[in-house]
Amino acid sequence: MMLRRLWSFCRKPEYVPYKNLSLTLRLKIVYSLVFWNFIVGIGIVMLAEGLFQWLDIDMGKHKTEDMFLKYSYFQVFALMVLMAPILEEIIFRGPLIFFKRSSFFPIAFYLSCLLFGLVHLSNFEEGASLLMWAPLLVAPQALMGLFLGFLRVKLGLRYAILMHMSHNGILFLLISLIELVE
């Protein structure tokens, strides 16, 4: 049901917030989208990894690997789970409010998703040499931009921040567990 609403919104984005929803329902929407974003995102990552292995392309290290080597777990948590989501949501979803009554809202919405995805290209070690693969590399983040933009419009910026923090928090836990095992 939630994916259907998200799909409908993405096909024709309009700045029409939900009204009078309980906190419980708002949180249910957020965590439903966190779940579906992970399911689809993992599928994209698996497809990309399979393609890169088949083509024998080395993507290099992801910058999060260096973060865990350079900083303490507390510092990585603060950067990855607290600061990045707040700053990125203010930068990429915050300005959507200025287009809420504009015929340019769909363009602003899609542009925010695309830019959000592209800024994450800097997470890859190879940077510019990976531009040819940029659409596949940043597809999970651009997709997440759609989910976050939907939440920003329908529930407000704080719920987009909450989803972003939850997403990054789950990644932080998974990466931390992998680091501890290795």
Domain ranges for the chain, please list them: 2-181
- Radius of gyration for the chain, computed over Cα atoms and rounded to the nearest angstrom: 17
pLDDT of residue 110: 98
Give 54-112 pLDDT, tens digit per residue.
Answer: 988 777 777 888 888 899 999 999 999 999 999 999 999 999 999 999 999 999 999 99
pLDDT number for residue 126: 66
CA neighbor of 76 nearest in space, from 93, 60, 90, 62: 62
pLDDT at 129: 62
The confidence score (pLDDT) of residue 179 equals: 80
Percent residues over pLDDT 70 in the chain? 98
